[in-house]
Chain A
Amino acid sequence: MRSRSLNYRHCLVCLMVLLWPIGAWGQTETDSLSQLAGDSVWIVTAAALVFFMQAGFALLESGMSRSKNTVNVIMKNYMDVCLGSLMFWLIGYGLMFGTNPTGWFGMDHFALNRAEPGDFGFLFFQTMFAATAVTIASGAMAERTRYQGYLYGAIIICAFVYPVYGSWVWGGFYGGSGWLADLGFIDFAGSTVVHSVGGWIALAGIIVLGPRLGRFSEDGEPRYIPGHNLGSVALGGFILWLGWFGFNAGSTVSADVSIGLIALNTHLAAAAGATGAVLALALLRLKPLMTMTVNGSIGGLVGITAGCASMAPSYAIVTGLIAGVIVVLGTLLLERIQLDDVVGAVPVHAFAGVWGTLAAGIFYSDNPFNPEQIIVQLIGIAAGFVWTFPVALIVYAVINRFVGLRIDTVGEQRGLDYSEHYEIGYPEFQQDTLHQGKN
């Protein structure tokens, strides 16, 4: 009896030993699925926040423009998201994230229809990034750009210009890797990949377009052309700030504990950016303009985007503060060389993006002030400019030649709302300056 009982116990123990790995495997699989689901929820939520930034851009850019161009600015924002998203799905995603054996561009995953569930969330998130990159130029080029020509540019940028550079830094999601990534280039959420690229495109656009009618006097003195709705500028700034939490913290691509530091750094840098801009204005004995302050905070956000996951909060503040100062100085520089950037997109996105990418190397928490890392960062920054700016310049010049990028002066006089869309933003107030046709 005792012997039988012992045998029974032995058998039970043996069975448990045999089955334990199966149970443990089941538990691991459940945890893994839960993590995957959590990641998906987080990435889609973050993508929605990034999409909301489009509302911020629309409010900020239209508010900084004159009332007669409101509809045009918003329409450009609206449609570049639409067309850009379609083009990124069709071509851009494959170029940027497809298998990248050469390090220069991806070669598959175009027009993605069949993939792992996580891939769709990632594509959704990255589509919002592409839409952000392309919409940056619209504000700089506002008030004198033909709608059709602008959209052609947006399509080419989203399908080709942005993804190729992106593949150098973030490419190889499905195999291989980008050449800048191989060098160790740090750009966590896209100070250069998204913002400087967008800023250089904006710079090319405003060079091809030329300034708005009367923006500079004959002797080169800039004339202030105030926006028509500073309330919407401020609201746009707040919305962008909010959306940036998704932009940076979503770039973890997983719901993990690192997002706390990322969100904190993002917020501190924005606050420091606005402070830096106000300080710079005060030191230069200029008025504390609200538009410049809002741009300072956005400059801080752009600046921290590269290093938000890899620097201590104190360094995030330094990064944001300097970015705010750069925004002010960059705006003055553009005015001095008679480049008309309506919303300050070039200093905010290009210049602050350059600084932020450099700062990500300088203040890298694992190895701060490492000259080798700083050189790699400089190479990545230079590569972004060398690729994006000339290509965008050619694209816009070709569009200007064959389609028309610059509106004629009659259209500029009437306002682009009427001349491009036959629709006006404020019919109750704009009757006096409308062409007869609208009455």
Chain B
Amino acid sequence: MVERKSATDIPRRRRAIYMGLKQYLEGDDLLNALCIWQQHYSRLPKFAITNFVRRITENTGLASSRAAIHLSLTSSLMLNEDSLGPDPLADMRHYLGSRLGDSEAESILGGSTNAPDDGARRSDNIQVFEILMNSFFTGISDSQQTAVADVRSALLRRLPELIRDPNQLQAISDWLRDGKRTLQAELDAGQLQQLLHAAYVVACDRLGPVRTDQCLTRALDTAERSDAGRRQSPRMWL
């Protein structure tokens, strides 16, 4: 009902975009358009699809089909998973790799995958997330000494709703219980966003929304100034 563009939904929407575009584009043009969507539009609200269509039809022979393409995409985005075609991610990776090199291709597409072995990117994600959350907790503690323990325990209670994998659940629970531990889990962007948001909601209940917003803003600033934060923006989880 309510719009929400989480990273976990990206594979489904990528398949929908692929399905909606393939009757208008083919070969490299299609893969290029998919890469543009992946890189620039996959995390934007649904209205942004209009900008995407404009971008891929500008200066091409498709300008007259803009409305039809838009309709095709909005229709395919409404389909459920069973009705969608295959995920074009492997073809996109191959397409980008052959032009930009594997590492660059991975940096563009990596954040969207749920593959367990995208090491460097995943580490950056986790590092930045850790800095962000620790700074957020510190801010809460500075505002109200006892609040941070309440926020951590409330978050622990909510974890089973957010994380299904038992190993991941255990790792995050350990990290939340012991503030000095490092987070030893590989989590995708969607999971990280859900965790941050759950912490935000719990902090709002404990501190009120104004202080929570202030703490989050300061934490975001700290995370963005870190080395990992310069490579991987934490804003994608906001």
Q: How far is it, in angstroms, between the C-alpha of A403 and the C-alpha of B197 when the chains are bound?
A: 24
Q: State in angstroms the CA–CA spacing of A437 and B10 once bound together.
A: 14
Contact A433 B220 (CB under 8 A): yes
Are A225 and B4 in contact (CB-based, < 8 A)? Answer: no
Q: Is A223 an interface residue (CB 8 A)?
A: yes
Total interface residues on B, using CB and 8 Å? 31
Q: How far is the CA of A226 from the CA of B209 in the complex (A)?
A: 10
Q: Does B48 contact A (CB under 8 A)?
A: yes
- For the complex, what is the distance from the CA of A411 to the CA of B213, rounded to whole Å? 13
Known interface pairs A214-B209, A408-B2, A410-B4; A432-B221 also in contact (CB < 8 Å): yes
User: What 0/1 readout, one digit per residue, does chain A (296-318) give for beta carbons within 8 Å of chain B?
Assistant: 00000000000000000000000
Within 8 A of B (CB), among A24-60: none
When the two chains form their complex, are residues A213 and B235 in contact, meaning their CB atoms are under 8 A apart? no
Does A422 interact with chain B (Cβ within 8 Å)?
yes
Whether A433 lies near B2 (C-beta < 8 A) is no
Residue A79 at the chain B interface, CB threshold 8 Å = no
Q: Which of B2, B203, B213, B238 contacts A435 (CB 8 A)?
A: B238
Residues of B within 8 A of A419 (CB): 3, 45
Chain B min CB distance to A415 (Å)? 9
Name the residue on B nearest A406 (C-beta).
B2
Q: Which residues of A contact B203 (CB under 8 A)?
A: 214
Closest approach, in angstroms, between the C-beta of A396 and any C-beta of chain B?
15
Interface residues of B in 174-233 (CB under 8 A from A): 197, 200-201, 203-210, 212-213, 216-217, 220-221, 233
Q: In chain A, residues 365-417, which have Cβ atoms closer than 8 Å to a Cβ of chain B?
A: 403-404, 407-411, 413-414
Q: Are B209 and A225 in contact (CB under 8 A)?
A: yes
Secondary structure call for the B interface: helix
A410 touches B197 (CB 8 A): yes
Select which of B2, B45, B200, B209 is within 8 A of A437 by beta carbon: B45
**A66 — which chain B residues lie within 8 A by C-beta?**
209-210, 213
CA distance A223 to B147 in the complex (A): 15
How distant is the Cα of A408 from the Cα of B200 in the complex, in angstroms? 13
- Asked whether B115 is an interface residue with its Cβ less than 8 Å from the other chain, the reply is no
Indicate if B44 sits at the interface (CB-CB under 8 A): yes
Closest chain B residue, CB of each to CB of A146: B2
Establish whether residues B2 and A413, one from each chain, have CB atoms under 8 Å apart when the complex forms.
no
A116 at the interface (CB under 8 A from B): no
Contact at A413–B200, with CB atoms within 8 Å? yes
Is A436 located at the chain interface by the 8 A CB criterion?
Answer: yes
Q: Is the CB of A223 within 8 A of B208?
A: yes
The answer to whether A439 and B235 touch across the interface, beta carbons within 8 angstroms, is yes
With a cutoff of 8 Å between Cβ atoms, the chain B residues found around residue A223 in the complex are 208-210
- Give chain A residues whose Cβ lies under 8 Å from the Cβ of B4: 408, 410-411
Find the residue from B47, B200, B205, B238 having the highest chain A CB count within 10 A: B238
A404 to B16, CA, bound (A): 25
Write out the residue numbers on chain B whose beta carbons fall within 8 Å of the beta carbon of A226.
210
Say yes or no: A404 contacts B1, CB within 8 Å.
yes
Cβ–Cβ contact B204 & A433, under 8 A: no
Q: Would you call B2 and A407 a contact (CB within 8 A)?
A: yes
Cα of A215 to Cα of B46 in the assembled complex, Å: 29
A434 CB-CB contact with B under 8 Å: yes
A407 to B3, CA, bound (A): 9
* Complex interface: chain A residues within 8 A of B25 (CB): none
Q: How far is the CA of A404 from the CA of B4 in the complex (A)?
A: 13
What is the bound-complex CA distance between A422 and B5, given in angstroms? 13
A65, B221: Cα distance in complex, Å: 24
Contact A214 B238 (CB under 8 A): no
Which of A225, A404, A413, A433 counts the most B-chain CB atoms under 10 A from its CB?
Answer: A413
A109 within 8 A of B: no
Distance between A360 CB and nearest chain B CB, rounded to angstroms: 40
> Shortest distance in angstroms between A419's beta carbon and chain B's nearest beta carbon?
7
Partner of B236, one of A225, A404, A435: A435
Q: Name which residue of chain B comes closest to A413, CB basis.
A: B200
B43 is an interface residue with CB less than 8 A from chain A: yes
Known: A432-B220, A434-B238, A435-B236. A422 touches B209 (CB 8 A): no
CB-CB < 8 A to A413: which residues of B?
Answer: 197, 200-201, 238
Q: Which of A214, A218, A404 contacts B2 (CB 8 A)?
A: A404
Contact surface of A with B, Cβ cutoff 8 Å: 66, 146, 212-215, 217-218, 223-226, 403-404, 407-411, 413-414, 419, 422, 432-437, 439
B residues whose Cβ falls under 8 Å from a Cβ of A:
1-5, 43-45, 47-48, 197, 200-201, 203-210, 212-213, 216-217, 220-221, 233, 235-236, 238
Which 7 residue pairs across A and B have the least CB separation, nearest first? A214-B204, A436-B235, A223-B208, A408-B2, A437-B44, A436-B236, A214-B209
7 contacts between A and B (CB under 8 A): A66-B210, A214-B208, A409-B197, A414-B238, A435-B235, A436-B235, A437-B43
